[in-house]
Amino acid sequence: MLIIKAVIFDFDGTLADTLPVCFFAFEAVFREFDNREITTEEIKAMFGPSETGIIRENLMNSNYDKAIELYYEKYKEQHCKIVQINEEINTLISLLKTNGYKLGIVTGKARRSLDISLELLGLNDSFDVIVTGDDVKYPKPHPEGINIALKQLKVPNKEAVFLGDSDADILAGKQANVHTIGVQWLPNYQTIKFSVQPDEVYSNINEFFPALSVSKIKSV
């Protein structure tokens, strides 16, 4: 059995069903600046860097600053229409905080879009540490972001879990030597079948907290 003190989350597809609004904003950018339609799978293949990095690395039109501004404009404009507040997630976060767990986010999102989502979803003050794509040199699957979070939380890796919905999340967690949890509990998530097996997989939000409720999580 492992004694867990910190729970660290990925964001898109893990804490919030924000992948559709990300896709919408990227589609608008590539349509406007490159005059091309890109698919969801093409966008997923670009994931790793922050949104600004994705645009700078993949857009053929070099007017990156305007393209990035359009991304954030569309992201914020459509967020309330596309992304719903998830009461089960809010309850989970509340339960974890009430029971004394330190909470973190490690995401490839840029700080600007994450702040938009946290504000609109009412999660502004829920986390002890937040590491975004702007805060790291190496995006997931590199463990840099998780290691930064652990250092700031002052929690050793063996006392933390990392939850994510993608292969990159699980690989990052394993390289950081934390307990890895694959989640497929939101309507839209990145990985249908993990190529690297997480220590655990949850498809129901309400099943996760009971595994932690006595400050323990089963070891595989």
10 catalytic per annotation: yes
Crossing angle (nearest 10°) for helices 87-98 and 205-212: 10
Contact predicate 220/201, CB 8 Å: no
DSSP 16: B
Rounded Cα distance, 70 and 30, in Å: 10
Q: Which residue has the tokens 């393209």?
A: 67
The active-site residue, picked from 10, 12, 169, 199, is 10
Rounded Cα distance, 42 and 163, in Å: 24
Radius of gyration of the chain (CA): 17
Q: Which residues form the catalytic set?
A: 10
